[in-house]
Amino acid sequence: MSDATNLASKMDVDEAAIDEGLYSRQLYVLGHEAMRKMATSNVLIVGLQGLGAEIAKNVCLAGVKSVTLYDPEPVSLQDLSTQYFLREEDIGKPRAAAMLPRISELNAYVPVRNLGGKAGQEITADLIQPFQVVVLCNASYKKQLEINDWTHQHGVHFIAAETKGLFGSVFNDFGPKFTCVDPTGEQPLTGMIVSVDKDEEGLVTCLDEARHGLEDGDFVTFTEVQGMEELNGCKPRKVSVKGPYTFTIGDTSSFGDYIRGGIFNQVKMPSILEFKSLRESLQAPDFFITDFAKFERPATLHVGFQALSEYREKHGRLPRPRNAEDAKQFVALAKKLDNDADEKTLEELAYQAMGDISPIAAVIGGFVAQEALKACSSKFHPMIQHLYFDSLESLPSVLPTEDDCRPIGSRYDGQIAVFGKSFQDKIANHRQFLVGAGAIGCEMLKNWSMMGLATGPHATIHVTDLDTIEKSNLNRQFLFRAKDLGKFKSEVAAAAVADMNPELKGHILCKQEPVGQATENVFDDGFFSSLDGVTNALDNVTARVYMDQRCVLYEKPLLESGTMGTKGNVQVVIPHLTESYSSSQDPPEKQALSCTVKNFPNAITHTIEWSRQEFDALFVKPVESVNQYLSEPNYLENSLKYSGQQHDHVEQIVSYLVTNKPLTFEECIVWARLQFEEKFNNAIRQLLHSLPKDHLTSTGQPFWSGPKRAPEPLIFNSADPTHLSFIIAGANLHAFNYGLRGETDPVIFKKVADSVIVPEFSPKSGMKIQINENDPVNQNSTDPDDISELIKKLPPPSSLAGYRLTPVEFEKDDDTNHHIDFITAASNLRAMNYNIPIADRHTTKQIAGKIIPAIATTTALVVGLVCLELYKIIDGKNKLEEYKNGFVNLALPFFGFSEPIAAAKKKFGDTEWTLWDRLEFKDDPTLKEFVAWFKSNHNLDVSMISQGVSMLWSSFTDRKKSAERLPMKFSKLVEHVSKKPIPPHVKHLLVEVMLMDEEGEDVEVPFVLVRI
């Protein structure tokens, strides 16, 4: 008891500020409030085989107050099947103590402790008192009930989880009254309204630019309503949805008459959830369905897992792998609990009970860790209350025998118990190409090392990633440590997993080349022919589409996955069976109209977009123009020929190179102060001069209404921190352009900015303002003489030989470079102009930097699902229904699985084909032979042939050219037309062909490949 109390007092050190550099991507998932709550939570994890290790890893990375481990049992060889914090030399040591040094390195902010204990000593209720969350892994039901009875009574959150082979189970009990603050984690909805009825219903109609997105039972409050002012800042009102643009809010009959304007804001209301204890739940379970195709299975597994516990108690061991006698006894035990339970499923559970495989530990471990974080933070909706998961489809088509599944004294015995030794050999000889070694890549390599992938004598894993390690990676890319900052991801990740499983040493080849056309000499025909499959671990669509095209070309299976916050997806692409990644695409993101961003912002996203454009217009583009003027002969003549705004362009170069070129940092401060005046005062005064506040539209409506907010000019005030931060960031970035040393002391900036004499500004009349997207952009028509006068002011480039300015390269994750500071200040000043609520630096950084929110739990789970599909690829499964595409959202939580979509079938003549088929020409045919082949084999006429950007031949090519080109070999023809030699690594050409049938109709055929 005293030990536990002692430990509790040690835990009283609270971490103050949240390290935004480390937790940046996770903060965009959880928010500061949830992370502050997590930082006061102590978590205990009991049972530290693969599942416990996975949960502990994810919880440590997330940043709770402390993690405590309990498992005094000795490390066995089989633990190495999934426990990547243990090594062979740890065998015989207590599990918790052996893994402690390695897991402690994950997060400097999270102390990890070992609760001690002796082998054979199970956890007891008196040891769990100092903790807010207790997680039991692979504990007997007797122990689960004993501990849960205590936690349910004493307000401690309880989770029990188990994995057995391809099966997993989770139980949650967060107490009789658990408050869930934000069930979905989605951004609160907001929108503009155009009317509110004054009656008992209170029908609200929204602006028809966008659907409101609300659901029945949501709550909203209002701001900026004119007339019915009682709604502004009102208590949250419950919504009843009437249509995509309308909803009711209840009685408004006693309020004032609605005139115009107003914004609704959704309010997230906390909900109270009631959990049953395990004792109660075993009798009346609430099942969380993970796969609707297996709707009946949870009830069977509910009794199956209980029966396993009973079997173990009775026999002192679990049923042996594929042993019919043990399985029979086990099924009889389960049938006593529920006679309707499915016998086949129970039999499989008995066969796999001793199995321990890494992908299942990853799926269940990722899920449980997120549930533990929900318990700590009240953020997101917990799972109610029993989850049962299986991936029986991952078993080999030819099931292993009992003999094949016997332990062989290998680190893979946990996997051999499920798949058999002969399948283990297949895994060891499988060759994969991993594209990307970031968050998904790290998790993938961890699972592959535990599975023993490519450990065979001739097998290799290829990994490529051009990135180096940054601080924000450490929060979820768990193979990296602070000492690795600046090193290549692929190399550090490969070394880390070869340390986890020494059999991988020499079997991982690292590259730093990005995938794309420029590196096809590295990733060439020979490279792809040495692979059995490709796994994407990428963070952008362009590279995904490119790899997808390569996999179609080389007929290789592709495993594709991605995450965003708590959401994740998995797609399997199998040659000649499924569609490819590129077959379907997400709709494009909705872009704000340029006139909205330029003149009529109504949301903070518009002002952030504007400030991001200003960043380029002040510190990047003009500087690049100056450098081009200084380095490219005839730059001005050439650019003036094509540029629509010649005068502005030349004026900019004159300004940056002559009239406003600073020699001291003080001059940079003056420049920034004048920029403030220009952007936030003069430009606004000009806009209000052209479109006064009382301006009416052609139909007599007030112009400044609805989404158009009338702005106010800002008067500079150096005591206002936002005003001053614009000057500080702007002056430092301007100084960076000129190689001048910066400054951060606010006193200097205040003093200089306040002494600047600002020129008087008078708005111009007759200025055209772009009101709609289709209006012409205001272009100054200028006299050519004006331009030549300007050009005379420019020094000849030869007089500044070697002189260059330095453009700013936008980098969001360096907090000292003033980039995000400038964008935040500029965006918020513009928001003040238009009376839009401002955003903090953290929010601005996400929107301006297009940061994808990310958390380790989702990544771990998604990669586990990918590896469950990898088993099927290794087995060579060839039926669509054997594979599963998956989508998860851990916040709700939600799992959805579906069969991949079949490759669409097309036809030309009598030939049926899909995207996987191709027409292949060997031995570098002549153009004449190529054209003749289509005529003689398919009675099709070739009307055009092109390769890359070169048009090789068409039916309207003149006779002389035709006579010259038709006898040429294809490779010679391509070199002749493109005027470039074919690189030596290119062994085939992808050719575009337009074909017509006898009726003159276009005919679509598979892609055409010419081997040269």
pLDDT digits (tens, 9 = 90+) for 911-966: 999 999 999 999 999 999 999 999 999 999 999 999 999 999 999 999 999 999 99
Q: Is the pLDDT reported for residue 15 higher than 70?
A: no
| Range 771-789 average pLDDT | 69
The token pair at 748 is 């200097």
Residues paired with 161 in a beta bridge: 137, 170
pLDDT tens-digit series, residues 84-134: 999 999 999 999 999 999 999 999 999 999 999 999 999 999 999 999 999
Torsion angle defined by CA atoms of residues 372, 377, 379 and 385, in that order, rounded to the nearest 10 degrees: 30
Contacts of 507 (CB under 8 A, 6+ apart): 454, 455, 459, 460, 461, 498
State residue 773's pLDDT score.
77
- pLDDT above 90 coverage of the chain, percent: 89
Which two three-digit tokens encode residue 308? Answer: 């396993």
Mean pLDDT, the chain, rounded, equals 94
The contacts of residue 196 (CB under 8 Å, 6+ apart) are 202, 203, 204, 205, 225, 228, 231, 249, 252, 258, 262
Q: pLDDT confidence of 780, banded at 50, 70, 90? A: low
Q: What backbone torsions phi and psi does residue 652 show, to the nearest 5 degrees?
A: -60, -45
β-sheet bridge partners, residue 464: 435, 511
Residue 861 pLDDT more than 70? yes
Q: How far apart are CA 446 and CA 536, in angstroms?
A: 15
Query: What region, left, alpha or beta, does residue 182 occupy, with left being phi > 0 and alpha being psi -120 to 50 degrees?
Result: beta
CB 42 within 8 A of CB 68: yes
Annotated catalytic residue: which of 137, 180, 595, 867?
595
Cα first-last separation, the chain: 78
Instruction: For residues 783-801, give the mean pLDDT.
Output: 82
- Binned at pLDDT 50, 70 and 90, residue 757 comes out as very high
Q: Write down the pLDDT at residue 6.
A: 45
- Report the range of poorest mean pLDDT among 18-22, 355-359, 943-947: 18-22
595 is catalytic: yes
Q: Could you tell me if 1008 and 917 are in contact, meaning their C-beta atoms sit under 8 angstroms apart?
A: no
Instruction: Indicate whether 339 pLDDT > 60.
Output: yes
Structure confidence at residue 3 (pLDDT): 46
Residue 174, Cβ density class (10 Å: 0-12 exposed, 13-18 middle, ≥19 buried): buried
Contacts by 637-642, CB closer than 8 A, 24 or more apart: 640/787
Residue 552's alpha-carbon distances to 262, 577, 871, 914, in angstroms, are: 52, 11, 21, 11
Mean pLDDT of 271-299: 97
Per-residue pLDDT at 637: 79
pLDDT at residue 791 in the model:
85
Question: Residue 642's pLDDT band (boundaries 50, 70, 90)?
Answer: low
Residue 779 has a pLDDT of 54
Task: Please tell me which residue, 171 or 786, carries the higher pLDDT value.
Answer: 171
Q: How far apart are CA 65 and CA 39, in angstroms?
A: 4
Q: What is the mean pLDDT of residues 271-282?
A: 97
pLDDT value at residue 1: 38
The answer to whether the Cα torsion of 290, 856, 411, 121 is positive or negative is: negative
Distance CA 622, CA 820 (A): 20
Residues 369/385, Cβ–Cβ less than 8 Å: no
Q: Measured between alpha carbons, how far is residue 942 from residues 911, 933, 996 in Å?
A: 18, 10, 7
Structure confidence at residue 705 as a pLDDT band (50, 70, 90):
confident
How many whole angstroms from its chain centre is CA 475?
A: 14
Q: How many Å separate Cα 859 from the centre of its chain?
A: 9
Return the pLDDT at 778: 58
